[in-house]
Amino acid sequence: MRSQQWFGAREEQTFQNRSALRSMGLNPDDFAGKPVIGIANSWSDLNNCNANLRELAEAVKRGVLLEGGLPLEFPTISLGEEFMKPSAMLYRNLMAMDVEETLRANPIDGVVLLCNCDKTTPAQLMAAASADLPAIQLNGGPRAISHFHGEPIGSGTDLWRYSDERRAGRISDADWKDLEACYGCGVGACNTMGTASTMTSLSETLGMMLPGTASIPATDARRMQAATATGRRIVQMVHEDLRPSKILTASAFDNAIRALLALGGSTNAVVHLIAMAGRRNISLPLSRFDELARTTPFLVNLMPSGQHLMDRFHAAGGVSAVLAEICDLLCLNNLTVTGRTLGENIARARSFDREVIRLREQPLAENGALAVLTGNLAPRGAIIKASAASAKLMQHRGRAVVFHDYEDLLARINDPALPVDADSVLVLQNAGPKGVPGFPEWGSIPVPTKLLQAGVTDVVRISDSRMSGTAFGTVVLHVAPEAADGGLIGLVQDGDMIELDVASRRLQLLIDDSELSRRRVAWQPRPTKHLRGYPRLYIDHVLQADEGCDFDFLRSSSDAELEFVQPVVGRS
Ligand code: FES
């Protein structure tokens, strides 16, 4: 085992390492020949969604000890969606580097990855894919359901809805305070099929979590039992040399895309899956998402695309039940962390609640939960979550109302003089990966107050930004290339005619070529105030949305680059 280089090799090399274990009260002889299991814990007081990971880490340790391993927990950077500004996405790659390099530098034979809030899940999986040590993931689970005026509250989704109600003058100050008090009623991740639950569901689909664990509620005792089982399993995985490279295959990513579509999951998953696949030198072009979307039914009736919340999803059978429903579309031979195939894992699964996980023959939609758009406005692609959009706007022509950046948007969106009507197309520029930097979730541009007051609840919105996985509406996202990278979205002007046609996957700026050329010649990149540090590194190396927004130097393009370089172990 790898850890033997630290603890079991020649004495002059191992003395200090063994002594370091003793200084923590651990006798290395008690663990001779046993695997060292790292527990990468993204718990933080700065991340409310990951608040239960400390208790789960203790349960993981129990499992590791029961199975004959040595658990060593370590902290990592945590990415909390609520507090981190401008976006936790700015730091996803930093967290991936943090986890990968900690694995690389230390005496670790296998790792348990403790995640929950949105970006913590893909960041850890990107690290595991690159490090390629035996790895298994465990999430903190979705939070309990709170109620406001007798109605269950869906995290995020209902906040957007109630915010619109408030701007329309239909919620009082006192009620708004009441909503704040009950909105986030406990530990855990958002209880909708937002980015957090989408990504943990996809981790389970990829084969990186124990089956049935992604959707267990945060406070359910079964989650602690799952943590102990996860701890036991990673020790076995080290003995079996079961590494991510055997699990994270091209067909596993196809399965994950199918699951994303059947779930009606978050658009953010598109970016994360591409980034994770890139770490294993697997190409996932946007066209693959669109191809699979045309033949994958949308089955899961959860907010924001549907009506229900994660507690019902878990009771209905969770991820395994969804996969069982589309099993003929999946590659069932893929190996998973159980040591068995995906097909074996889901052999007994079925839906126990057809209102939540629909029968294959009675889907919420035959296909197309997500669609990939192209056209002169997005030559490298853009995404729309059709399952959460308005059917009547799927084919639309309208005049652009342009916001040059987020500050401009905030300053003018609620201005009664804004020249906007129900047919307008709202365009937000300079909100992409390099532009901010960090690719924030500003793409679900609020419907202008004057339209809300007139009873308009949705308009077409287009940006080079992302949106929260809990959001909804006719929102075109991830336009690539972004404005800050010279994309045509940066050349759109007020009054330009834009055509959106989801059925033909078209997004077009309807102006003539000579005018476009004139604007291109006049375009100048905006100066950035980020001249140093991590934001500078990010701007210089982040890839565009269609490539997953990883750093160019973190993707692998050859088998040689996939080699996990061992450190030289000796006395310091
Ligand atoms: Fe953390 Fe939704 S804000 S999971």
Tell me the pLDDT band of 349, cut-offs 50, 70 and 90. very high
Q: What is the largest CA-CA distance in the chain?
A: 79
The whole-number pLDDT of residue 503 equals: 96
Q: Please, which residues have CB within 8 angstroms of residue 69's CB and are 6 or more apart in sequence?
A: 34, 35, 36, 37, 110, 231, 234, 235, 238
pLDDT mean over 370-385: 97
For residue 279, tell me if it sits in a domain: yes
Domain shared by 110 and 167, yes or no: no
Residue 469: what residue type? G
For residue 129, tell me if it sits in a domain: yes
Cα of 471 from ligand 1 centre, angstroms: 12
Cα of 55 from ligand 1 centre, angstroms: 19
Cα of 526 from ligand 1 centre, angstroms: 32
Domain shared by 192 and 172, yes or no: no
Cα of 190 from ligand 1 centre, angstroms: 5
For residue 251, tell me if it sits in a domain: yes
The whole-number pLDDT of residue 572 equals: 58
User: 3-class secondary structure for 502-524?
Assistant: CCCCEEEECCCHHHHHHHHHHCC
Domain shared by 80 and 211, yes or no: yes
Task: Please check the confidence at residue 557 and state whether its pLDDT lies above 80.
Answer: no
- The first and second tokens of residue 459, run together, are 């308009």
Domain shared by 319 and 432, yes or no: no
What is the per-residue pLDDT across 430-478, written as a single tens digit (0 to 9) for each? 999 999 999 999 999 999 999 999 999 999 999 999 999 888 999 999 9
The whole-number pLDDT of residue 185 equals: 80
Given a contact cutoff of 8 angstroms between Cβ atoms, the answer to whether 258 and 291 are in contact is: no
Cα of 516 from ligand 1 centre, angstroms: 41
Residue 194, ligand 1, Cβ within 6 A: yes
What is the per-residue pLDDT across 302-331, written as a single tens digit (0 to 9) for each? 999 999 999 999 999 999 999 999 999 999
Mutate which of 117, 119, 183 for ligand 1 pocket (most atoms within 8 A of beta carbon): 117
Task: Please check the confidence at residue 26 and state whether its pLDDT lies above 80.
Answer: yes
Tell me the pLDDT band of 396, cut-offs 50, 70 and 90. very high
Q: Which of 163, 96, 170 minimizes the C-alpha distance to 135?
A: 96
Residue 81, ligand 1, Cβ within 6 A: yes
Task: Please check the confidence at residue 559 and state whether its pLDDT lies above 80.
Answer: no
- The first and second tokens of residue 235, run together, are 């020790």
Tell me the pLDDT band of 280, cut-offs 50, 70 and 90. very high
Residue 117, ligand 1, Cβ within 6 A: yes
> Which of 345, 360, 380 lies at the terminal end of a domain, its last residue?
345
For residue 530, tell me if it sits in a domain: no
The total number of structural domains that make up the chain? 3
Ligand 1 atom with least separation from CA of 194: 2
CA-closest residue to ligand 1 atom 1? 117
For residue 14, tell me if it sits in a domain: no
Domain shared by 289 and 432, yes or no: no
- Average pLDDT value over all residues in the chain: 95
The whole-number pLDDT of residue 13 equals: 77
Task: Please check the confidence at residue 197 and state whether its pLDDT lies above 90.
Answer: yes
Least confident of 175-179, 183-187, 314-318: 183-187
CA-closest residue to ligand 1 atom 3? 81
Domain shared by 71 and 203, yes or no: yes
- Domain hosting 484: range is 371-522
Phi-psi region of 220 (alpha: psi -120 to 50; beta: other; left: phi over 0): beta
Q: Which of 161, 227, 176, 185 minimizes the C-alpha distance to 49?
A: 185
Question: How many percent of the chain have pLDDT more than 70?
Answer: 99
Q: Is the pTM of this model over 0.75?
A: yes
Domain shared by 118 and 261, yes or no: yes
Domain shared by 477 and 375, yes or no: yes
Task: Please check the confidence at residue 355 and state whether its pLDDT lies above 70.
Answer: yes
- Residue 44, domain CATH: 3.40.50.2300
Task: Please check the confidence at residue 188 and state whether its pLDDT lies above 90.
Answer: yes
Cα of 524 from ligand 1 centre, angstroms: 37
Alpha-carbon span 526 to 469, nearest angstrom = 29
Domain shared by 238 and 96, yes or no: yes
Domain shared by 216 and 339, yes or no: yes
Question: How many percent of the chain have pLDDT more than 90?
Answer: 90
- Residue 411, domain CATH: 3.50.30.80
Domain shared by 111 and 160, yes or no: no
For residue 465, tell me if it sits in a domain: yes
For residue 392, tell me if it sits in a domain: yes
The whole-number pLDDT of residue 571 equals: 61
Tell me the pLDDT band of 141, cut-offs 50, 70 and 90. very high
Cα of 352 from ligand 1 centre, angstroms: 27
Task: Please check the confidence at residue 386 and state whether its pLDDT lies above 80.
Answer: yes
Ligand 1 atom with least separation from CA of 189: 4
Given a contact cutoff of 8 angstroms between Cβ atoms, the answer to whether 239 and 69 are in contact is: no
Task: Please check the confidence at residue 105 and state whether its pLDDT lies above 90.
Answer: yes
Domain shared by 114 and 160, yes or no: no
For residue 94, tell me if it sits in a domain: yes
What is the per-residue pLDDT across 56-73, written as a single tens digit (0 to 9) for each? 999 999 999 999 999 999
